[in-house]
Structure 1
Amino acid sequence: MAEKVNIFWFRRDLRLDDNIGFYKSLQGKYPVVPIFIFDENILNELPEDDARVNFIFDELQNMRNELQKNGSSLAVYHGTPKTIFKALISEFNIQNVITNHDYEPYAKDRDSEISKILEHKEIGFFSFKDQVIFEKNEIVKEDGDPYVVYTPYMKKWKATFREDKHLKIYDTSQVMNNLVQHSRLPNLNISDIGFKPSKIKVPKHDVTPTTIQQYEKTRNFPAQEGTSRVGPHLRFGTVSVRSMVKKAIAEKNEVFWQELIWREFFMQILWHFPETVDHAFRKKYDRVPWRKSNADFEKWKEGKTGYPLVDAGMRQLNKTGYMHNRVRMVVASFLCKHLLIDWRWGEAYFAEKLLDYELSSNVGNWQWAAGSGVDAAPYFRIFNPTTQIEKFDKNQTYIKEWIQEFETDDYPEKMVAHKQARERALETYKKAIN
């Protein structure tokens, strides 16, 4: 009879250290086979040079090399999770499959399907909380209802939080001797999964004491390197959220800490209200008669609207897979309010381009811009993309960096006048929701 093993399934937790599910699996009775699945259901939606897939691939190879130092490895597969698990069941004498919770609608359906397959074979399926401090129903109102406004959620989050309880670091290196001793587990090349190298690279994060200390002074100015770039690393779990909260507390920086809490706020909104992926949280906003102008949408995507801050942001996104957070608000407001184009179109474009794309935050922030979400900006708050330059890019440093033809005859005319666009948006929204 083949050796009894447990499987640990990496997903959004691409690190060996301080990984709760991986740590727990290594404390179990049976040796652990670590696996990762390049999921066809997800990959089939992506361009073949997607920088995020390249990033995942590189991180997996780093993890594989580390595991090989311990006489083990990482098995990397390509296919649907259902197909791969059926093959694994016939190859290994699996006792349990261990992983970390994932909260998005697709992930919940996938895990439910895999759980049933395993249950049928009398294999255990165990999942742990790892990518957040608080999840699901852990931070709710006294009556058990979810919070739909950030500030009271944040206050309850902080009141519930205990540093000694919630920031325990899980030192995986102490239990690595329980890995399966097999250094030649299956691996793949990037071309094996239908992808090719990307020109865009995910930057290293910059979560240093200086970045955190200066965070509120610099974070709103796109010409300054004042943000942490930690988004993709939290998204794919190359850093643990516990280590990030620990840093925020060490530097006594409430603003940086609260940005991490915003992430969890949007995650629990998506958990409680999965329909908000494609429906307005405030249902009456689904009555807004959006303009279905592909031509205008293309100009916005290409950064050719004639509004410099909007155009600089879109060009930065297209070139680097990143856009400064302040500018994201301006470009999103411009699409929904100035052009009256459906927030779902913008959300889908960001999903395609952003290295730090996170479904819950993306949907939450787009609905905020459209006025249709939880804790939303009222529909009559419409960013003026010109006065935003005065406030946040006074010397036009950011604009000039991304728009080569700025202040020349080649720069496009404004595609819509601010005053008329504002009035049109106010009238359209008012009619729709009243």
Structure 2
Amino acid sequence: MNIICWIRSDFRLQDNQLFAKAVEYLEQDKQATVEFVFWLNPDYIGAYDARQQYFFQALENFSENCKSIGLPIRFIEGDEKTFLEETDMADRLLFNAEYVEPFKTRDDAIIKKRGTKKTERLLDRHLLHPHAVKKNDGGYYKVFTPYKNAFLKKELPEPVSVDVKLLQAQYHKRRHDNAFIQAYFKSAQTEIDFNVGEAAAKKRLEHFISNGLTDYQKQRDLPAVDGTSLMSRYLRTGEIGVRTIYAAVEQAGDSEGKQTYLTELIWREFYYTILMHYPEAKRLPVNEQYTAIEWEEDEAGFDAWSNGQTGYPIVDAAMRQLNTTGWMHNRLRMIVASFLTKDLLIDWQKGEQYFQQKLVDYEAASNIGGWQWAASVGTDAVPYFRVFNPTTQSKKFDASGAFIRQYVPEIKDLPNKFIHEPTDQQRIDYDYPKPIVDHDMARKRAIARFKK
């Protein structure tokens, strides 16, 4: 029996259902062989922004680790036909499932085209299958709290152990030319230190649990403080398993921060479920009564928002953090999303697509869910009449202006009194733009538009 493990976003050896299942087959058949492959379709990669740079750096790190222990990955470049031809010899093709589109449709097609040759998709990227948590009538939850209550009644999976020595012993080292992949890795090089790899992910998790978990509910809203776990990027590329994270946090001493963090992990599951049941959410509001909102056509406003030139220091600092690092603090994601959709009344889809282009931790379900929440058009979203005041948010969560000074250096010398809202003269003196919109006016406009 020839087993192929199709690696996608699974850049770790431990707590990986893909490799655990392969080991299970190897234990049953001592004559079986296993091989790792990674398929690259150039049409799907797009321009090299931080997201692609991070992904390929993480892949390169994993590839080097595998190669160093005798498990070299065979890379396949081409279209679906090429991939099917290059994996046709597999009696078992294993991969970790993506249940949202367009990946589900692609995987369905590959399973169908392989016909009688066994193909298995495994639940790995989430704690529970999107169909696992249902209401009594069989429908899915659209409100988070009852979903969470039902979720917590389920038996959650433990991390899985992978016998790497058995993989090594029965690994099939096929002759192949991986030279082409070096061009992708070279294009991914950047001055940003993404700190990639399975070891780095585990180290960061340990640091967070020891130093940040207890006060997480307080520290997570302060962008100038290292108060978040930073696990989202590692989950995105599979450098750490969600089972590993959940189990490690669950075993920590009880605290409000612990409960808050576990709830965030459940939000990730909730949004994944929503997107699977409502795949149109990429382009349509889940709350259908807001489908016909009249959004503004404001390219100048969108450009100012994108480039961190809105004249609102906290918004500009957040967008510059995104543009320079490929990541943005979660509190800031809510602030900039509210600003775009409420202050500028620009369609949330434009912001969601911009984040898709830039974020190293982009996952469609969470990103779409977050944007629809901020825009008040999604499931269990913030009420439309709640409009974040960016200046108030700035004073509350970056009181000393430390974060603003880091990313908006032109005004770093302003005293705390003015760092959140410079005067007109200070804006001239420090070459910082005037606000592109009056917040009070914009708030009233947004509420009237949504009410209509």
Q: Which amino acid in structure 1 is aligned with residue 145 of structure 2?
A: T
Partner of 1:142: 136
Give the equivalent residue in structure 2 for 1:22: 19
1:247 match: 248
Q: Tell me the CA shift for residue 39 of structure 1.
A: 2.7
Q: How does 1:178-327 map to 2 (within 5 A)?
A: 179-182=170-173, 185-187=176-178, 188-191=180-183, 195-203=187-195, 204-205=200-201, 206-207=204-205, 208=207, 209=209, 210-251=211-252, 252=254, 253-327=258-332
Amino acid at match of 2:134: V
* Distance in 2 of aligned mates of 1:307 and 1:333: 13
Q: Say which SS state the counterpart of residue 160 (structure 1) adopts.
A: coil
1:133 equivalent in alignment to 2:127: yes
Query: Does structure 1 retain, via aligned residues, the 8 Å contact 2:58–2:237?
Result: no
Contact 1:299-1:305 at 8 Å conserved across structures: yes
Separation of aligned partners in 2, 1:179 and 1:379: 58
Moved more, 139-148 or 193-202: 193-202
Letter of the structure 2 residue corresponding to residue 346 of structure 1: G
- 2:52 and 2:23 map into 1 onto residues whose CA distance is 27
Alignment of 1:334-373 (within 5 A): 334-373=339-378
Q: What is the CA–CA distance in structure 2 between the aligned matches of 1:342 and 1:55, rounded to whole Å?
A: 28
Structure 1 residues 278, 403: closer, same or farther in 2, change over 3 A?
same
Any gaps of 5 or more consecutive residues in structure 2? 415-425
Question: Any conservation in 2 of the 1:200–1:321 contact (CA below 8 Å)?
Answer: no
Checking the alignment, whether the CA contact within 8 Å between 1:63 and 1:74 is kept in structure 2 is: no
> Does the C-alpha gap of structure 1 residues 57 and 302 become closer, same or farther in structure 2, counting only changes over 3 Å?
closer
Give the alignment of 1:351-430 within 5 angstroms.
351-406=356-411, 407=414, 408=426, 409=428, 410-430=431-451
State the Cα distance separating 1:294 from its structure 2 match: 0.8
**Equivalent residue, structure 1, for 2:161:** 170
* Residue 73, structure 1, aligned to residue 94, structure 2: no
Name the SS of the counterpart of 2:213 in structure 1.
helix
* Partner amino acid, structure 2, of 1:351: Q
Shift of 1:361: 0.5
1:100 to 96, 102, 115: 96
Aligned pair in 2 of structure 1 residues 149, 422: CA closer, same or farther (>3 Å)? same
Kindly provide the CA deviation profile for residues 315-361 of structure 1, in whole angstroms up to 9, marking residues without a partner as x.
11111111111011010000000000000000000000111111000
Q: Secondary structure at the match of 1:341?
A: coil
Q: Give the Cα separation in 1 of the matches to 2:71 and 2:400.
A: 55
Q: What TM-score, normalized to structure 2?
A: 0.88
Match runs of 1:83-98 below 5 Å = 83-89=82-88, 93-98=89-94
Structure 1 Cα separation of the partners of residues 70 and 175 of structure 2: 9
Aligned to 2:423: none
Question: For residues 275 and 149 of structure 1, do their structure 2 counterparts lie closer, same or farther at Cα, with a shift above 3 Å needed?
Answer: same
Measured in 1, the distance between the counterparts of 2:311 and 2:64 equals 49
Task: Note the residue ranges of structure 1 that are not aligned, 5 or more in a row.
Answer: none
Q: Which amino acid aligns with 1:23?
A: A
Counterpart secondary structure, 2:91? strand
The CA distance in 2 between the partners of 1:106 and 1:223, in whole Å, is 37
Q: Is the 8 A contact 1:82 1:114 kept in 2?
A: no
Aligned residues of 1:8 and 1:32 also touching (Cα < 8 A): yes
Q: Work out the CA distance in 2 between the residues paired with 1:186 and 1:212.
A: 45
Match of 1:114 among 101, 110, 124: 110
Displacement of 1:70 after TM fit? 4.6
Give the equivalent residue in structure 1 for 2:35.
33
1:7-18 matches, within 5 Å, as 7-18=4-15
| TM-fit CA distance, 1:167 | 1.0
Q: Which amino acid aligns with 2:137?
A: D
Relative distance call for 1:330 and 1:118 in structure 2 (3 A) is: same
SS for the counterpart of 2:120 is strand
Give deviations 1:223-242, integer Å, cap 9, x for gaps. Answer: 11111111110011000111
8 Å CA contact 1:72–1:180 kept in 2: the answer is yes
Equivalence for 2:422: none
Alpha carbons 2:147, 2:270 under 8 Å: kept: yes
How far apart are residue 69 of structure 1 and its match?
4.7
Q: Deviations over 1:87-145 (max 9, x none)?
A: 332xxx321211111122011011011112211xx311111111111122101111111
Q: Partner of 2:92: helix, strand, or coil?
A: strand
Deviates more, 1:63-72 or 1:265-274: 63-72
Would the aligned equivalents of 2:20 and 2:160 in 1 still touch at CA under 8 Å? Answer: no
AA aligned to 1:115 is: I
Instruction: State the one-letter code of the partner of 2:244.
Output: S
